[in-house]
Amino acid sequence: MTDIKSVPAVKIEKIHKRFGQLHALKGIDLTIEQGEFFGLLGPNGAGKSTLINILAGLLKPTYGKVAIMGHDVLDAYQAARMSLGVVPQELVFDPFFNVREMLRFQAGYFGRGRENDAWVDEVIENLGLTDKAHTNMRKLSGGMKRRALIAQALVHKPPVIVLDEPTAGVDVELRQMLWAFIKKLNNDGHTIILTTHYLEEAEALCERVAMMKQGEIVALDTTANLLSKLPGKNLRLTLGQANLPSTLLPMLKNGENGIFTLALTELNQIEFALSELRKANIHVQDMQLIEADLEDVFMSLVGEQASSQNLQAGTL
């Protein structure tokens, strides 16, 4: 008999998914251990949501196997789904019920009865929904609906929780609150799988990340290792109205509104950049040396094309 403590939280083997001519997933292999905080990154169309939907049983793979806590999502779907809580990306809700009713129904679908009501109330309280427990789902703000969706994924106490873009479109305060809550879940022993466009989010939360591009995993490592693979730093220069000298253009990563970011492979390039600016008689208003982040790793792996299509103000 398999020891439940030794099985991976999620095991994905050679998963392919085709939608007609579109080959959305091209042989994904991935193992996520119990207790991990795992990030799944990639631009739109990379296949993140397709993969999540296969985990959740909302899509059937064309080929390959997926197991949640050792339970195959097709052959042992009931045990697999008992082990999984999914927070969908879209703000979906049932307009007929209030928050508490909806959560109790959701727990009931998983075979949980009134003995579970105390846990439902605890989830409501932990997510700051106590004041809204008797409010109809229709009348909640977007942020509150997002909290209710997270609560719905937790009512049956699943060991593995998938959050598909949980902080998309939420304000900074709520994002911080959700981050703290998700971290607490992880500290309590839940395995967390997070898909996100926000690289900052993955960097702050995830111990390990997989980067996807066009249905394939292009990088899979700990966040620290991925960051260390790019030893370079970035030099951010504020030049006001002046343009960057042409000699520095090969180092240019991005630039707008008089702020230019140069990618450095060696620190002595700082002196080179400053001397070129002096030669051009350009006054440096401000200068910052910035560590490479996941965005840099992502851009180097996924390439300029994907990044330029999806990169918007620090998000992918």
Partner 1 sequence: MNLIDDLISPQWRGTYTLFKKELFRFWRVAFQTVASPVLTSLLYLLIFSHVLENHVQVYEGVPYKAFLIPGLIMMSLLQNAFANSSSSLVQSKIMGSIVFVLLTPLSYVQFFIAFLAAAIIRGFLVGLSIYLVAIWFVDLSIVHPLWIFMFALLGSALLGTFGIIAGIWSDKFDQMAAFQNFVIMPLTFLSGVFYSIHSLPPFWQTVSKFNPFFYMIDGFRYGFFGQSDISPWLSFVVVLAFLLGLAWLALKMLKSGYKLRA
Minimum separation from the CB atom of position 31 to partner 1 (A): 22
**With CB under 8 A as the contact rule, which of the stretches 32-40, 82-90, 201-209, 280-288 interacts with partner 1?**
82-90
Does residue 81 belong to the site contacting partner 1 (CB under 8 A)?
Answer: yes
Does residue 59 belong to the site contacting partner 1 (CB under 8 A)?
Answer: yes
CA-based torsion, 180, 182, 183, 184: positive or negative: positive
Of 9 and 248, the one with the shorter C-beta distance to partner 1 is 9
Of 132 and 208, the one with the shorter C-beta distance to partner 1 is 132
CB atoms within 10 A of CB 231: 10
Of 16 and 112, the one with the shorter C-beta distance to partner 1 is 112
Burial 183-198 (b: 16+ CB within 10 A, else e): eebbeeebbbbbbbbb
Confirm if 261 and 251 have CB atoms less than 8 A apart. Answer: no
Does residue 119 belong to the site contacting partner 1 (CB under 8 A)?
Answer: no
Burial 143-177 (b: 16+ CB within 10 A, else e): bbbbbbbbbbbbbbebbbbbbbbbbbebeeebbeb
According to CB under 8 A, which one of 33, 72, 101, 207 is a site residue for partner 1?
Answer: 101
According to CB under 8 A, which one of 86, 206, 219, 244 is a site residue for partner 1?
Answer: 86
What is the rounded distance in angstroms from the CA atom of residue 127 to the CA atom of residue 100? Answer: 13
According to CB under 8 A, which one of 64, 65, 72, 97 is a site residue for partner 1?
Answer: 97
Minimum separation from the CB atom of position 19 to partner 1 (A): 8
**With CB under 8 A as the contact rule, which of the stretches 1-9, 56-64, 221-229, 308-316 interacts with partner 1?**
56-64
Does residue 96 belong to the site contacting partner 1 (CB under 8 A)?
Answer: yes
Q: Which amino acid belongs to residue 45?
A: G
Letters for 146-185 (x = contact with partner 1 by CB under 8 A, - = none) are ------x---------------------------------
CA torsion angle 141 143 148 153 (round to 10):
150
Which tokens go with 118?
């105390």
Which tokens go with 93?
């809700």
Where does this chain bind partner 1 (CB under 8 A)?
A: 19, 56-60, 77-79, 81-82, 84, 86, 88, 90, 92-97, 101, 105-106, 108-114, 152
